[in-house]
A and B are shown apart, each in its own frame.
Chain A
Amino acid sequence: MRVGIIGVGCTKFGVHEKTIQELAFDAVKEAIEDADISREDIDMSVVGTSNTRGYELMPAVPINEYCGFAGKGPIRVEAACATGSAALYTAYSSIVSGMADIAVAIGVEKMTELNTPTSLAVGGRSGSYLWEFHQYGTTFPGYYAMHASAHMAKYGTTSEQLAMVAVKNHRNAAKNPKAHFPKEITLEKAVSSRYVAYPLKLFDCCPISDGASAAILASEKKIKELGKEAVWIEGIGYSSDTANVTKRSDYAGLKATVEASKMAYKMAGIENPLKSLDVACLHDCFTIAEIMAYEDLGFCRKGEGGKFVEEGRSDFGGDITVNTFGGLKAKGHPLGATGLAMIYEAVKQLREEAGDLQADLENYKALTHNIGGTGHFGWVFVLGV
């Protein structure tokens, strides 16, 4: 059974003086208006939030109540930074199972209610607490920095190449009013910024943002019945890896990306991603993550990710347009919202509603790549019209 996306919503990412339910409401409202359906048409609500920084420890029901979905679910899902993708999959599954005709996937995160040291200590628990954070004070930037150190040593990837990812994504974010940092940066500014976790500098890191996103999914039968247009979910892939950093065989890539993309490409019938896809939303929580993703998704050979961005192959007019909306790097990365914000962006691109950030479409296919932790979760979706 085919499942299509009939409505999407996404708030501006940044610092919001709104509660988690108020923020989720804004995204859901936009998605319902976009789908041109009513609240009562929805059979199942899936709430995705990692919410490890929130005061509302069990937020699914308050969010569901505020959005007017009491009685329709909710199912709460959590997959760290890939939570939004897990929510999409759960909503998709509720339709494929025949239990729901129309389902909403909500992704939301409030990250700015805590101070930075507390937020760092929460993110630093994204590995295996007792053996990593407890003993060594790991942080989330620190984990990606370790991957960057391995990639740079093994393949000669440079700080400049990392910074080129940031420059590209900031250039795109400058045209996106929903971005946390809608402003351009220079390569000079990026490479001369202070270290957060060597070898990663301030401009290699995504900001700490609040945000929400939502997608409304329906069965093909229901979509026909309602006479709607849809963006179809053509490929789904998922994988995961060890919690403990010591139990990984290699640090120059993410196995979860490789495995998830293989599964998604197979389902979508894609043999050569660069030939089949027009746009991609890649998980660039840190610049090194986008470079590893080019390689692990098969856009280039292993070790050539630095060159891929340097040669402009991931920019407008390149082989595949990556992170047209500014990526996590400049648009922001409110954990639970990110995966569905990618879906929002892919849908806008495929409908050719992306305005100044519209990529040229040849195949009308887009990919989203959403990672939880450092490859602790990996999700890839292929969308098409």
Chain B
Amino acid sequence: MIIEGRELVFKHNIPVTRVEKYWKGLEEGKIYGTVCKSCGAKYSPPQADCSLCYSDDMEWVEIGGEGEVECMTEQHSFPAGFEFLKESYIIAVARFGDFKVVGWAKDKISVGDKVVAETGKDETGVWKVYFRKV
């Protein structure tokens, strides 16, 4: 016998205040990382604090140009929260210089392919990075 449990909904209010520039940047078509002014460590996604030297003196830098796909997957099943997707979707990690970025690929891509990054939002209003094959 199975009893249905009481429903419990988690919808978190997530503080992004210290990396707000990243989220605002996406709305302006820009992808930001941070560089530690004290030790030079580079962060993508950005961090407000340096995990290596513990400084909080960070410089915001724009990530762009041509990237190279280091790994990818095409998802054929949809996790809760992504029911709006009607077709399989490609997630990739591409390297742009010293920074790596995750993105959804708009074109069919393979490891080693050259891509450019742009930003946009999905049907649920979440901003993100998209890759296009060069």
List chain A positions with a Cβ less than 8 A from chain B: 17, 55, 113, 116-118, 120-121, 123-124, 128, 130-139, 141-143, 145-147, 149-150, 152-154, 194-200, 244-247, 251
Write out the residue numbers on chain B whose beta carbons fall within 8 Å of the beta carbon of A143: 73
Contact check, A246 vs B111: say whether CB atoms are below 8 A apart: no
Contact A251 to B75, CB < 8 A, known contacts A117-B80, A117-B83: no
Query: How far does the Cβ of B133 sit from chain A's closest Cβ, in whole Å?
Result: 15
- Could you list 27 A-B pairs, sorted by A, with CB under 8 Å? A117-B77, A120-B80, A121-B82, A128-B45, A130-B16, A134-B126, A135-B102, A135-B126, A136-B103, A136-B104, A136-B128, A142-B75, A146-B73, A146-B93, A152-B111, A153-B110, A153-B111, A194-B76, A195-B88, A197-B76, A198-B73, A198-B74, A198-B88, A245-B102, A246-B45, A246-B102, A251-B71
| Most-contacted residue by chain B among A117, A137, A194 (CB, 10 A) | A137
Contact check, A55 vs B5: say whether CB atoms are below 8 A apart: yes
| Most-contacted residue by chain B among A123, A131, A152, A251 (CB, 10 A) | A131
Closest 7 CB pairs of A and B: A145-B73, A153-B111, A120-B79, A121-B79, A198-B74, A246-B100, A121-B80
Contact check, B76 vs A137: say whether CB atoms are below 8 A apart: no
Q: In the bound complex, what is the Cα–Cα distance between A139 and B74 (angstroms)?
A: 11
Q: In the bound complex, what is the Cα–Cα distance between A138 and B89 (angstroms)?
A: 10
Q: In the bound complex, what is the Cα–Cα distance between A163 and B92 (angstroms)?
A: 23
Contact check, A196 vs B77: say whether CB atoms are below 8 A apart: yes
Q: In the bound complex, what is the Cα–Cα distance between A55 and B6 (angstroms)?
A: 9
Tell whether B61 is near chain A: CB-to-CB under 8 Å. no
Smallest CB-CB separation from B99: which chain A residue? Answer: A246
Tell whether B48 is near chain A: CB-to-CB under 8 Å. no
Write out the residue numbers on chain B whose beta carbons fall within 8 Å of the beta carbon of A116: 77
Smallest CB-CB separation from B5: which chain A residue? Answer: A55
Query: How far does the Cβ of A213 sit from chain B's closest Cβ, in whole Å?
Result: 24
Write out the residue numbers on chain A whose beta carbons fall within 8 Å of the beta carbon of B78: 117, 120, 137
List chain B positions with a Cβ less than 8 A from chain A: 1-2, 5, 8, 14, 16, 44-45, 70-83, 85, 88-89, 91-93, 99-104, 110-112, 126-129
Q: In the bound complex, what is the Cα–Cα distance between A143 and B83 (angstroms)?
A: 19
Query: How far does the Cβ of B78 sit from chain A's closest Cβ, in whole Å?
Result: 6
Smallest CB-CB separation from B112: which chain A residue? Answer: A153
Write out the residue numbers on chain B whose beta carbons fall within 8 Å of the beta carbon of A146: 71-73, 91-93
Query: How far does the Cβ of B31 sit from chain A's closest Cβ, in whole Å?
Result: 11
Contact check, B85 vs A251: say whether CB atoms are below 8 A apart: no
Smallest CB-CB separation from A145: which chain B residue? Answer: B73
Q: In the bound complex, what is the Cα–Cα distance between A148 and B49 (angstroms)?
A: 32
Write out the residue numbers on chain B whose beta carbons fall within 8 Å of the beta carbon of A139: 75, 77, 79
Write out the residue numbers on chain A whose beta carbons fall within 8 Å of the beta carbon of B88: 195, 198
Q: In the bound complex, what is the Cα–Cα distance between A134 and B100 (angstroms)?
A: 18
Contact check, B93 vs A245: say whether CB atoms are below 8 A apart: yes
Q: In the bound complex, what is the Cα–Cα distance between A132 and B45 (angstroms)?
A: 10
Q: In the bound complex, what is the Cα–Cα distance between A143 and B101 (angstroms)?
A: 15
Write out the residue numbers on chain B whose beta carbons fall within 8 Å of the beta carbon of A149: 71-73, 110-111
Write out the residue numbers on chain B whose beta carbons fall within 8 Å of the beta carbon of A142: 73, 75, 91
Contact check, A120 vs B16: say whether CB atoms are below 8 A apart: no
Query: How far does the Cβ of B57 sit from chain A's closest Cβ, in whole Å?
Result: 20
Q: In the bound complex, what is the Cα–Cα distance between A196 and B92 (angstroms)?
A: 16
| Most-contacted residue by chain A among B77, B83, B85 (CB, 10 A) | B77
Smallest CB-CB separation from A130: which chain B residue? Answer: B14
Write out the residue numbers on chain A whose beta carbons fall within 8 Å of the beta carbon of B111: 149-150, 152-154
Smallest CB-CB separation from B92: which chain A residue? Answer: A146
Write out the residue numbers on chain B whose beta carbons fall within 8 Å of the beta carbon of A147: 71
Smallest CB-CB separation from A134: which chain B residue? Answer: B126
Q: In the bound complex, what is the Cα–Cα distance between A113 and B16 (angstroms)?
A: 33
Q: Which of B1, B8, B89 contacts A137 (CB 8 A)?
A: B89
